[in-house]
């Protein structure tokens, strides 16, 4: 490769990155209502609404919203004022027209930056991780090529199993780290090479706190065996890079 060609490639990469950054900056909701939740309110959640135009959070702390939008476990988010964990908000955001889910997440990231003045930086530290890969027998998940339906990808089933519908691997890794392996405090790194969306049913015995009674629980394998036997995926402990999100600044939003 000649020097001129190398410079052209570098320039092309830089332009592409700039275009992507400009696109992210332009992705904002047209209208957003933000208010403190009723302290007596029970439950809560956050989800994109059907149609790809609205995103609603109910009785949710800002740090949890941040973790969902950036697909990072809460234990890998540090810094920031204490109210990011304790104060809960109701947020209803509406876009000018329908967008895909990735764009809606970018919009919510921009909303956090604009309305909560949230600023952060990333730090990479060596630590304990799990690596998710495809088992030698191959994936057992069903490919889902249907259009985006804006539903939560993984939900509890009627028999206590977890039902995955149109699940991308980055979401599965986040879910494993945040939910199924929360006590392990290890991030899950995707090394499957699977870049589409998949359906599956996952039945496993959850981790129980010390002293918990497991007598009435169904006889199910642990998450490692379940992933291998039911999904054709392998989860292995390793040492690797752990990405931390360090919040440098945040402000309560103005009343609206």
Q: Are residues 82 and 162 in the same domain?
A: no
Q: Are residues 54 and 143 in the same domain?
A: no
119 within a domain of the structure (yes/no): yes
Query: Would you call 253 helix, strand, or coil by DSSP?
Result: coil
> Is residue 231 scored above 70 in pLDDT?
yes
41 within a domain of the structure (yes/no): yes
- pLDDT at residue 59, as a whole number: 97
Please check whether residue 107 is in contact with residue 24, taking contact to mean a CB–CB distance below 8 angstroms.
no
Half-sphere exposure in the Cβ direction for 180 (13 Å, CA): 26
Q: Confidence class of residue 23 from pLDDT cuts 50, 70 and 90?
A: very low
Q: Are residues 178 and 134 in the same domain?
A: yes
Please check whether residue 56 is in contact with residue 46, taking contact to mean a CB–CB distance below 8 angstroms.
yes
CA nearest neighbour of 57 among 108, 114, 120 = 108
Please check whether residue 117 is in contact with residue 249, taking contact to mean a CB–CB distance below 8 angstroms.
yes
The two three-digit tokens of residue 60, written as one number: 């949710």
> Is residue 242 scored above 80 in pLDDT?
yes
Element (H, E) at 113: helix 101-115
pLDDT tens digits, one per residue of 95-117: 999 999 999 999 999 999 999 99
Q: How many CB atoms lie within 10 A of CB 202?
A: 23
Q: Are residues 110 and 185 in the same domain?
A: no
Q: Are residues 205 and 144 in the same domain?
A: yes
Q: Are residues 129 and 105 in the same domain?
A: no
- pLDDT at residue 25, as a whole number: 55
- pLDDT at residue 15, as a whole number: 44
Count of domains for the chain = 2
The two three-digit tokens of residue 64, written as one number: 């949890």
54 within a domain of the structure (yes/no): yes
DSSP at 241: E
Residue 193 domain boundaries: 124-209+219-241
pLDDT tens digits, one per residue of 58-85: 999 999 999 999 999 898 999 999 999 9
Q: Are residues 61 and 158 in the same domain?
A: no
Q: How far apart are the C-alpha atoms of 174 and 23, rounded to whole Å?
A: 25
Q: Are residues 193 and 163 in the same domain?
A: yes
pTM: 0.75
Query: Would you call 54 helix, strand, or coil by DSSP?
Result: strand
- For CA atoms 18, 69, 51, 41, the dihedral sign is negative
13 within a domain of the structure (yes/no): no
11 within a domain of the structure (yes/no): no
116 within a domain of the structure (yes/no): yes
The two three-digit tokens of residue 70, written as one number: 């950036």
> Is residue 2 scored above 60 in pLDDT?
no
Please check whether residue 256 is in contact with residue 132, taking contact to mean a CB–CB distance below 8 angstroms.
no
Tell me the average pLDDT of the chain. 88
Q: Confidence class of residue 6 from pLDDT cuts 50, 70 and 90?
A: very low
12 within a domain of the structure (yes/no): no
Q: Are residues 137 and 234 in the same domain?
A: yes
Q: Confidence class of residue 19 from pLDDT cuts 50, 70 and 90?
A: very low
Q: Are residues 136 and 196 in the same domain?
A: yes
């Amino acid at each position: 490769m000649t020097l001129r060609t190398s410079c052209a490639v570098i320039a092309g990469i830089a332009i592409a990155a700039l275009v992507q950054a400009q696109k992210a900056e332009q992705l904002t909701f047209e209208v957003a209502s933000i208010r403190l939740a009723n302290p007596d309110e029970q439950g809560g959640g956050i989800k994109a609404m059907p149609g790809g135009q609205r995103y609603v959070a109910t009785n949710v702390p800002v740090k949890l919203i941040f973790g969902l939008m950036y697909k990072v476990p809460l234990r890998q988010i540090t810094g920031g004022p204490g109210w990011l964990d304790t104060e809960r908000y109701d947020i209803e955001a509406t876009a000018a027209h329908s967008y895909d889910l990735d764009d809606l997440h970018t919009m919510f990231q921009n909303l956090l930056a604009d309305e909560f003045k949230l600023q952060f930086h990333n730090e990479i530290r060596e630590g304990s991780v799990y690596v998710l890969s495809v088992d030698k027998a191959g994936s057992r998940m069903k490919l889902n090529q249907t259009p985006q339906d804006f539903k939560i990808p993984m939900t509890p089933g009627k028999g206590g199993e977890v039902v995955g519908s149109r699940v991308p691997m980055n979401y599965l890794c986040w879910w494993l780290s945040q939910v199924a392996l929360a006590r392990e405090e290890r991030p899950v790194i995707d090394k499957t090479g699977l870049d589409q969306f998949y359906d599956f049913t996952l039945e496993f015995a959850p981790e129980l706190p010390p002293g918990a009674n497991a007598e009435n629980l169904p006889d199910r394998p642990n998450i490692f065996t379940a992933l291998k036997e039911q999904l054709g995926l392998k989860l292995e402990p390793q040492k690797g890079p752990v990405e931390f999100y360090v919040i440098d600044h945040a402000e309560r939003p103005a009343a609206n």
